[in-house]
Structure 1
Amino acid sequence: MAERFYFDIENGEASIRDEEGVEAASVEQALDEARSVIREMAAELTAANPDETWTLIVRDASGSLVGRLPIRP
């Protein structure tokens, strides 16, 4: 059965919360999807300020942290 996972991004000062989320069959599948999201957004996030460090936070439907992935170009 699919679960909903949310991908927030933060840099230590700012946080952008995912209110929509994605459905995935497992935590592993959600983390694979998160890696795809990182590939899509890394250049955009780091272009404005290459010294900032962004992290993609993966949480489950209950809000529990299930993964933290660095966003690198």
Structure 2
Amino acid sequence: MSEENRVQERFYFDLTDGCTAWNDDEGIEAPDLDHALAQAFLALKEMRQTGELDQLGEGWQMIVRDEADVVRQSFVIHVRQTYVTH
């Protein structure tokens, strides 16, 4: 099946520091988790470049969930470092 004919899934990207949560109510459509994560990393890169991550500070993580509210991936967001996936 070509990529353009694949069924799209909806993924949501929530941010939390354990006390505060910003839930993604819109999400994005992607053919699979790998594509969704690539979009998430691009968004975080942009947030890093604009200084938005600096405003968050350390201790935040991104939770990636699907339409059924199942957590598919989570990772710690480092303001100036790489990501650690769980």
Where in structure 2 are there 5+ consecutive unaligned residues?
A: 1-6, 80-86
Where in structure 1 are there 5+ consecutive unaligned residues?
A: none
Q: TM-score, normalised by structure 2?
A: 0.73
Give the counterpart of 2:10 among 4, 7, 29.
Answer: 4
Q: TM-score, normalised by structure 1?
A: 0.84
Aligned residues: 71
Identity of aligned residues (%): 37
Q: For residues 27 and 48 of structure 1, what CA distance do their matches in structure 2 show? A: 28
Q: Where do 4+ consecutive residues of structure 1 move more than 3 Å? A: none
Computed over aligned residues only, the root mean square deviation of the Cα atoms, in angstroms, reads 1.5
More relative contact order, 1 or 2 (CA 8 Å, 6+ apart): 1
Matched residue type, 1:12: G
